Amino acid sequence: MSWKRSILALIALMLLAAFPFGPLFAWSPVHPGYQKTRFSRADVLYPSSAALDPAYRDVDRYVALAENFHELKCPKKIEVVVCRNWSDCLRFAAPFLMGQRPLAVTVPTGTVIFVTPRADGWADIGGLLRHELSHAVQNQNRSLLSVLRMLRQPWVSEGVAGVVAAMGAPAPGRHLVSLPEAEFLSRAKTEDLWPSFSGAALKDWPFSYTAWVYFWDSQIERSGRPTFLRFERMCFSDPGSCRKAFADLYRTDLRSAVGEFQTEVRSGRLVAPERVRF
């Protein structure tokens, strides 16, 4: 029986180590190498050897902004983990990164946000937080199945999070994964936007992401936020029917709407997302 006890002891040690050193780090009562700053709506864990970017101190305001935009409440406190390096990030968040190296990722429960080293030094941290908090607010109000199924509808979930991210002046010359306005508009005049919405061509993520943000800015400006919020609720309730919900509420199919949007882009009538306010 001693070998069984040894295995059980080993499993227990592995579980204990998973909290401060592994995938349960965000839920651990201790965080070696990190310090915590507490706010009303979120706590921020960041490396003990680094100063906290000032943008993180606005996290409560950003939670309220996301709640106001989506007209939803974020009932649970959020833990924001600013990873010290990629080794830490992979140990803490590998199941949620899905083999990618994004700027940040929000776990499906909407209670934890991991900020990766890729964001250090060049991303607009305020915009990054607003983007992820849009996801967090949505995730805390949806079923896990709905959240996972929405991964197949990035033109909605990522585009709308981008709209929320742009609700504040970006730091000059710094962007999330979006393209600078001039570069996007120049490319959109010759490149077809539909593949970004159909899922046929998502290799160029910055271009697609920027197209989604501009698209939703245009739709909200034209039809109003109440119509958008009705669509959003219908889409998250049944992610497989997002296109049908769009057609029902906007009185046009998605492909036609993207075509009209492309015409708007090429005509120079588009409003830049960072200038839109809600």
Domain extents for the chain? 22-141, 149-278
Spacing of C-alpha 254 from chain mean position? 22
Look at residue 138 in the predicted model and tell me its pLDDT.
96
Alpha helices by DSSP H, listed for 150-253, are: 154-165, 181-188, 194-198, 205-223, 225-237, 242-250
Question: Quick one: average pLDDT of 166-170?
Answer: 68
pTM confidence score: 0.87
Buried b (16+ CB within 10 A) or exposed e, 10-45: eeeeeeeeebebeeebbebeebeebeeeebebbbbb
3-state secondary structure of 36: strand
Closest CA to 164 of 51, 57, 61: 61
**For position 169, what pLDDT does the model report?**
53
CATH of 22-141, one of 3.40.50.880, 3.30.1200.10, 3.30.2010.30, 3.30.565.10: 3.30.2010.30
pLDDT value of residue 16:
39
* Lowest-pLDDT range of 95-109, 175-189, 206-220, 241-255: 175-189
**DSSP structure string for 164-185:** HHTSSPPPTT--SSSPPHHHHH
Q: Using 50, 70 and 90 to split pLDDT, how confident is the model at 120? A: confident
Two tokens, residue 92: 């803490």
- Which of 151-155, 176-180, 192-196, 254-258 has the least mean pLDDT? 176-180
For helices 154-165 and 125-140, the axis angle rounded to 10 degrees is 130
**Nearest residue to 110 (alpha-carbon basis) of 152, 157, 142, 67:** 142
